[in-house]
Chain A
Amino acid sequence: MPDTMINMDLVTGHYNYWLVVVLMMTGLFITVSRGNLIKKIVGLNLFQTSVFMLYISMGKIKGGTAPILTDDPATVYSNPLPHVLILTAIVVGIATTALALALIIRIRESYGTIEADEILEIEHQIDDPDPSPTNPANALMARIRGNR
């Protein structure tokens, strides 16, 4: 087999990691690219969930059973520690999501929108449209802002 061909072992042997990577990048991309605050949170949740899956799949041992103590010393157990860690991380994720949703409600109440670009426009209007004369560099800054 020539070297240039895709190393199938790398793909099939680590398929769980490939799935995690795809999910992770999807989540991160949604978080960064979407303007809707709710969609941002959906992306963030996807991103976090992919990490949970990374941990959980890494604790799996081939032929291993659920980590419940049996009398048979030959039993192979999966590693329970990553699962326990992820229980904690899930709790953190829920708290983050709840707080984010609460913040979105407050933002909707005071801005009347949950679209990031509309919020940004409202915030620009709050900023003084007439820059202060104490700073000579403000003329320059205003020009940069105008061009953007």
Chain B
Amino acid sequence: MSNLPALQIILPLMAAPICAMVGRPKFAWGLATLVAWASFAISILLFLSVRDGTVISYDMGGWAPPLGIEYRVDVLNAFVLMIVSGMTSFVMPYALKSVASELHESQHAYFYTAFLLCMTGLMGVAITGDAFNVFVFLEISSLSTYALVAMGAARDKRALTAAFNYLIMGTIGATFFVIGLGMMYMVTGTLNMADLAQKIAANGDSRTLRMGFSFVLVGIGLKLAMFPLHLWLPNAYSYAPSAVTTFLASTATKVAIYVMARFMFSIFGFDYDFQANTMQFIMLPLALVAMFAASTVAIFQEDLKRMLAYSSVAQVGYMLLGMSFLTQLGLTATVVHMFNHALIKGGLFMAAGCFIYAVNSSRIDDLKGLGRIMPWTSAAFVLGGLGLIGVPMTAGFISKWYLMQAAFELDWWPIALLIVASSLLAVIYVWRMVEVLYLRDLPEKNDVRAVPLTMLVPMWGLLLLSVYFGVSADITVSAASRAANALIGASNIFWQSGG
């Protein structure tokens, strides 16, 4: 039991090379699925044991922090771990047929290898308590993501340039992050997150610290597609294999949001005006612009996956907005939305993958009238779309409800109005799909493949869960609220209680 935090990372890390070495597609898929489910079970166990507010601190290799690398699990980490491993568990069964139809058979084993490495990296980022370790895991996940995106070249060669551009932007982001860490190390002489938090509070404000803060902000901003830094995202999501898009959209940006929250709230804190001002006068406007600009661009897209990708940029805007309120309620909204959006966007991208499986195209024009012959997939898409808009009884409503409450709490009612207004933009692009699917005539010559059950079941599973968490939000909201408490309030009290 006490080695669970290490197992969480080691299991997928060890399974990845085995997949590549054995090289048989079915075996690689089986092992990856098994590992994903085992990881999910581990993260549920971890979540249950830290739910009451205890903090698990695990010394990697027996070296005590702050010198050794520490794995540190609190409510927030465990919640993010659960999102990542849970989404992997849902994507794996889906990937079997989807990957088989989109990639050449010789690539399958390597696909699952890269997939497991990506999952390892994301979970490592979430679980580690060491700032430099975050960078290493971030790059493990990013490098495998570039490879995964490039595998979409079997369907469309533009995946290669998408992966290349992502690599350039992602590496610049990661390097900025390292520069920021370097500045923080200059000021404090430590890299352990808990230690950093205390030393930054003790050392006082300095220009080096401010530069470190800014570099970390921009670096992570690139990784999470913060509005003007989102340019890599639409192409990467559009041309990657469907299973990869589903996985990335529901986990990669969420983990980056987690890193942002962890660095902003737990490490830097808001003792100094510079940090708080940056959040409220730079991040908040950018988040608002993202909500409107990205949603507007989404309306004009001709490709379903690209439309959903732009919608993701807008949804990241909601998460950053919640964070930039700098209140407990705002952070709660961010964490809840991380979870809810993972379910909704995961389901929607799975539906897009089903359309691609059926008609081998994700162009909206090629999907005309499919509502009649693909009732299950189309209905799932509409259900996910409702969640995206934030209709009551869906998970998206819960997120927006808390986001608006957070705005009202600060008496920032114009922002609450803007949240509603931007949701109306989502109505337009979701309605556009409804119109194409249900109100257009099916072309006379159609060549529609039946979508297998292994793809339909995970998709419906995710979307039904999103409805479940929309109706009874107690579990998610209470977990998110405790996670927000862990981050804000007295970040120092939080860090001291565990160590």
Bits for A84-99, please: 1 = Cβ < 8 Å to B, else 0. Answer: 0100110010011001
Main secondary structure of the interface of A (DSSP, over half): helix
A111 at the interface (CB under 8 A from B): yes
Q: Using known A-B contacts A51-B178, A99-B147, determine if residue A82 contacts B164 with beta carbons closer than 8 Å.
A: no
B144, closest chain A residue (CB): A99
**In the bound complex, what is the Cα–Cα distance between A135 and B364 (angstroms)?**
10
B165, closest chain A residue (CB): A116
A107 and B164 contacting across the interface, CB-CB below 8 Å? yes
A120, closest chain B residue (CB): B161
Q: Using known A-B contacts A40-B168, A134-B436, determine if residue A103 contacts B364 with beta carbons closer than 8 Å.
A: no
In the bound complex, residues from chain B placing their C-beta under 8 Å from that of A110 are 153, 157, 160
B235, closest chain A residue (CB): A123
B172 and A44 contacting across the interface, CB-CB below 8 Å? yes
A100 and B167 contacting across the interface, CB-CB below 8 Å? yes
**In the bound complex, what is the Cα–Cα distance between A96 and B171 (angstroms)?**
8
Q: Using known A-B contacts A31-B168, A135-B302, A138-B300, determine if residue A92 contacts B157 with beta carbons closer than 8 Å.
A: no
A135 and B300 contacting across the interface, CB-CB below 8 Å? yes
Choose the segment among A1-9, A60-68, A124-132 that binds chain B (4+ C-beta atoms closer than 8 Å): A124-132
Bits for A52-71, please: 1 = Cβ < 8 Å to B, else 0. Answer: 00110010000000000000
**In the bound complex, what is the Cα–Cα distance between A47 and B179 (angstroms)?**
11
In-complex Cβ contact of A123 among B132, B158, B167, B432 (8 A): B158
In the bound complex, residues from chain B placing their C-beta under 8 Å from that of A141 are 300
A116, closest chain B residue (CB): B161
Q: Using known A-B contacts A31-B172, A51-B182, A54-B179, determine if residue A92 contacts B147 with beta carbons closer than 8 Å.
A: no
B136 and A92 contacting across the interface, CB-CB below 8 Å? yes
**In the bound complex, what is the Cα–Cα distance between A27 and B182 (angstroms)?**
18
Given contacts A103-B160, A107-B160, 10 further A-B pairs with CB under 8 A are: A51-B179, A55-B178, A96-B139, A99-B147, A110-B157, A111-B161, A132-B363, A134-B432, A134-B440, A137-B299
The 7 closest A-B pairs by CB, nearest first: A110-B157, A132-B365, A92-B139, A107-B160, A103-B164, A106-B160, A96-B171
Between A and B, 5 residue pairs with Cβ closer than 8 Å are A51-B175, A103-B163, A128-B302, A134-B432, A134-B435
